[in-house]
Chain A
Amino acid sequence: MSIAIQQTRSSLLVCAATARAEMRRTLAYTIEVVRWPLFPLLYYVSLYFTYEAAGRDSVGATTPAAFLLVGIFGMTLWSSAIWSGGYAVESERSAGTINSLFLSPASRGAVVLGYSLGAITVFVVPTMVVATGLALALGVDFEIADPLAVGVAFCALLLAALAMSYLLAGAFVLTRRANMFANFIQSPIYLLSGMVVPVDDLPRVLQWFAYIFPISAGMDALRGVLLTGATLDEISGSVMRLVLISVVLMVAGQYLLERVEHAARNAGTLDFE
Chain B
Amino acid sequence: MLAIETSDLRRTFNRSRGLFRGGEELVAVDDVDLAVPEGMIYGLLGHNGAGKTTTIKMLSTLLIPTAGSARVAGFDVVADERSVRRNLGVVLGGDRGLYNKLTARDNLVYFGHLYGVPRGAVGPRVDALLDLVDLGDRAADRVEGFSRGMKQRLHLAKALVHDPPVLFLDEPTIGLDPAAAVRVREIIAGLAREKTVLLTTHYLHEADALCDRIAIIDHGRIIVEDTPAGIKSQVGGDRRHLISVRGNLNGWTRELLGNLPGIASVDLEPTDDGLTTITLVANESAASVDAALRALHQEDVEVDAVRTADLTLEDAFLALTGERSE
Which A residues contact B (CB, under 8 angstroms)?
Answer: 10, 13-14, 16-18, 20-21, 24-25, 28-29, 95-97, 99-106, 111, 262, 265-266, 268, 270
B63 contacts which of A18, A21, A96, A265 (Cβ < 8 Å)? A265
Residues of chain A contacted by B63 (CB below 8 angstroms) = 265, 268, 270
When distances are taken between beta carbons in the complex, the residues of chain B under 8 Å from A16 are 113
Which residues 90-142 of B sit at the A interface, judged by CB distance below 8 A? 90, 92, 96-102, 106, 109-111, 113-116, 119, 142
List, in ascending order, chain A residues with CB within 8 A of B182's CB.
none
Tell me, yes or no, whether B86 is within 8 Å of chain A by CB: yes
Q: List 20 A-B contacts (CB under 8 A).
A: A10-B116, A13-B113, A14-B113, A16-B113, A17-B110, A21-B106, A25-B102, A95-B100, A97-B96, A97-B98, A99-B97, A103-B88, A103-B90, A104-B85, A105-B83, A105-B85, A106-B116, A265-B63, A268-B11, A268-B13
Write the nearest CB–CB distance from B18 to chain A, whole angstroms. 18
CB distance from A240 to the nearest CB of B (A): 35
Contacts of A103 in B (CB 8 A): 60-62, 85, 88, 90
9 A-B pairs besides A17-B114, A24-B106, A99-B92 with CB distance below 8 A are A13-B119, A14-B114, A17-B113, A21-B102, A100-B158, A103-B85, A265-B64, A270-B62, A270-B63
Known: A14-B114, A265-B64, A268-B57. A100 touches B102 (CB 8 A): no
Q: Which chain B residues border A96 with CB–CB below 8 Å? A: 96-97
Min distance, Cβ A154 to any Cβ of chain B, angstroms: 27
Q: How many residues of B are in contact with the other chain, CB < 8 A?
A: 34
Task: Tell yes or no: B82 within 8 A of A by CB.
Answer: yes
The docked-state distance in angstroms from the alpha carbon of A20 to that of B113 is 11
Majority-rule SS of B interface residues: mixed
In the assembly, what is the distance between CA of A105 and CA of B61, in Å? Answer: 10
B111 touches A100 (CB 8 A): yes
Taking the nearest CB of chain A, how far is it from the CB of B42, in angstroms? 19
Q: Kindly state the separation between the CA atoms of A102 and B119 in the bound complex, as whole angstroms.
A: 21
**A265 near B61 (CB under 8 angstroms)?**
yes
Q: Which residues on A sit within 8 Å (CB–CB) of B83?
A: 105
Whether A104 contacts B96 by the Cβ 8 Å rule is no
Cβ contact within 8 Å between B114 and A95: no
Give the CA-CA distance A97 to B158 in the complex, in Å.
12
| Count of inter-chain pairs, beta carbons less than 8 A | 81
Q: Which residues of A contact B110 (CB under 8 A)?
A: 17-18, 20-21
Contacting pair B99 A95 (CB below 8 A) = yes
B254 to chain A, nearest CB (A): 34
B96 touches A105 (CB 8 A): no
A211 to B82, CA, bound (A): 39
A99 touches B62 (CB 8 A): yes
A residues within 8 A CB of B62?
99, 102-103, 265, 270
A266 to B83 CA separation, bound complex (whole angstroms): 19
CB of A91 to closest CB in B, whole Å: 11
Chain B's closest residue to A13 (CB) is: B113
Q: A169 vs B148: C-alpha distance in the bound complex, in angstroms?
A: 31
Report the minimal beta-carbon distance from B164 to chain A, rounded to whole angstroms. Answer: 11
Chain A residue, CB-CB nearest to B113: A17
Q: Which residues of B contact A104 (CB under 8 A)?
A: 85, 111, 114-115
| Contact bitstring B51-79, A, C-beta under 8 A = 1, else 0 | 00010010011111000000000000000
Give chain A residues whose Cβ lies under 8 Å from the Cβ of B115: 104-106
> What residue of chain A has the Cβ atom nearest to residue B60's Cβ?
A103
Which B232-257 residues have C-beta < 8 A from chain A? none
Nearest CB on B from A241, distance (A): 35
B82, B96, B101: the one contacting A28 at CB < 8 Å is B101
Question: Contacts of A10 on B, CB cut-off 8 Å?
Answer: 116
> Are the C-beta atoms of B64 and A97 separated by less than 8 Å?
no
Give bound CA distance, A13 to B118, whole Å: 10
